[in-house]
Structure 1
């Protein structure tokens, strides 16, 4: 069974999706929809500058655009439908577009706003995120966070041995120092805000109101939710899960494990970058992995099947 995967932030690059849009009408139609939903976005994706594309409010709809352009080109070329989808953080919106839960233009407007809300929630410089790398248990990381003064929480459970903490800058630094003393490697991340922690509550509330105004449609296949690591088949559950995700942990390790339990054996990462494929290879080395972002990637996929 095929699982469609969709990346989150920091998988962006100048030119993302442009080759696919230039070559295939299905991808070009996605770019046209993106330009209607967020005017000026497709030029920024093609030409930059990178510092503008990196801004959260621009990067989020750009990633959805590139992912869905690749996905729809793949669908047209293969006639295949995935059994499941999952997306890392922002990528969960792409997964719901793929599953038919969300209209593409609605999703683009939502993530454009989501990016603004997340950036606005915490003044620049007051928040931070760090990757915690090492063989220690997640529970030991959680214990250190809970014992640290200030707000510092687990934001991402990306893979065994790779966790991300998020919160107030001083608290993240203090927790990082304690975890380093316990043998972990600490990598401060270049981010514009402390995502996936309780400091994002203002963004969650604003996004929840927007989600209530959008029509969610019956799903073509289940999507694994970030905050529960369980498949969702009822579109009525989706708005609350997407809102909760803003402050909740991305339980990616468990999401991948759930896909494997459900029988997925072929994983396709759609869109810019290969971050998710790298994580998956560590967790499920026996599975088949593909990246589809360019026409050459699509040709390679067709040749491999």
Structure 2
């Protein structure tokens, strides 16, 4: 089975939206800008690394790139059987699973970023990655430091992040080295996230969460707080609020997903941090990423794999690299061309019809196998119009 994963803060980089500008999924940027009341395109195209380090900027920018990547892979028919996000990425997972709608997701991420930025400015804090030490020994190092320092992220075997007051993080790091850590690396962040230092952010975010409607997910979403698969809607208000001051149990989540039958993880969004953690945690699983349009065909080829056994594909793996969906570029009434293209070979760029005044053209060459919209049907943006076989 395939699981989509979504990165958190720290994966952002300057210009990370540039590869997507000419892709149909870029239309989400305008929607995000409207929902956030900010120029999201500026963040994705023009903001430098220093600007993106600010929590209020990095979280919104990372979330939107994840949503663009998600939209892009669904346009070509890649399906998932589960979702999981790291910290901020949990919000991406909830939108992807239909628990929260896109506009509410933008609003929550914006509020979360602002709240955490303010909390970080009120309470001086930092974070550090401890490498090559077991979880229990990292916890022991924090306890022996005897101050405001805690485990913030369980990322992978031998990769744990601690956070708290700068002096205490330094002290815990020194103890961790004495206990056998191979390396302690300071992280370039402006706060002690997922610790009690975020308590004021928790209070502020709770108000925004209280105004949000949560729905049942289309597939399980694995929660950061307890690493458990959530299949309902009711728990998410408390889980999101608790997440701010609790450690992210990512390694435990990956183990649970593997136990539940997931064999392929596709990271959607900037960077490849989660791809790396999955490779360290679940070495027998396939770990892929999509953070630019060029990644999509490579992922399709990887997901196709060997011929499907007689029992048929597993859920989330009903995909062949020779099949493509052509989706509507806009909302409106679909009007096909007068030519009967069904069953005929067409070149890339072939006009299939119009949605209102907007042309619908296939990005791929191949044979038109069927139309999924009929003449006069009102369609939405990104709704499948036709499918074709490319070879």
Instruction: Kindly report which structure 2 residues correspond to 1:268-287, keeping only aligned pairs within 5 A, or say none.
Output: 268-287=266-285
Residue 21 (structure 1) shift: 4.2
Q: Does 1:241 align with 2:239?
A: yes
Match of 1:257 among 239, 255, 258: 255
Match of 1:188 among 182, 186, 189: 186
Deviations 1:158-185 (A, max 9, x none): 0010101111111111111111222212
TM-score w.r.t. the length of structure 2 is 0.74
What does residue 9 of structure 1 align with? 9
Cα 1:264–1:21, aligned 2, differ >3 Å: closer, same or farther?
A: farther
Could you tell me how far apart the structure 1 residues matched to 2:269 and 2:211 are? Answer: 28
Could you tell me how far apart the structure 2 residues matched to 1:248 and 1:266 are? Answer: 27
Which structure has the larger Rg? 2
What does residue 379 of structure 2 align with? none
Instruction: Kindly report which structure 2 residues correspond to 1:1-305, keeping only aligned pairs within 5 A, or say none.
Output: 1-24=1-24, 27-38=25-36, 39-78=38-77, 80-123=78-121, 126-134=124-132, 136-184=133-181, 185-304=183-302, 305=304
SS at match of 2:208: helix
CA contact (8 A) 2:156 2:277 kept: yes
Residue 6 (structure 1) shift: 0.2
CA contact (8 A) 1:66 1:271 kept: yes
Higher relative contact order (CA 8 A, sep 6+): 1
Could you tell me how far apart the structure 1 residues matched to 2:43 and 2:61 are? Answer: 9
CA contact (8 A) 1:292 1:298 kept: yes
Could you tell me how far apart the structure 1 residues matched to 2:4 and 2:102 are? Answer: 17
CA contact (8 A) 1:61 1:111 kept: yes
SS at match of 1:269: strand
CA contact (8 A) 2:5 2:84 kept: yes
TM-score w.r.t. the length of structure 1 is 0.95
RMSD: 1.4
Residue 81 (structure 1) shift: 2.7
Could you tell me how far apart the structure 2 residues matched to 1:175 and 1:143 are? Answer: 9
Could you tell me how far apart the structure 1 residues matched to 2:8 and 2:256 are? Answer: 19
Residue 283 (structure 1) shift: 1.7
Residue 302 (structure 1) shift: 2.2
Aligned pairs, how many?
A: 301
Gaps of 5+ in 1: none
Larger helix fraction of residues: 1
Residue 41 (structure 1) shift: 1.7
Deviations 1:59-85 (A, max 9, x none): 10111100011111101111x431110
CA contact (8 A) 2:127 2:164 kept: yes
Larger strand fraction of residues: 2
Residue 273 (structure 1) shift: 0.5
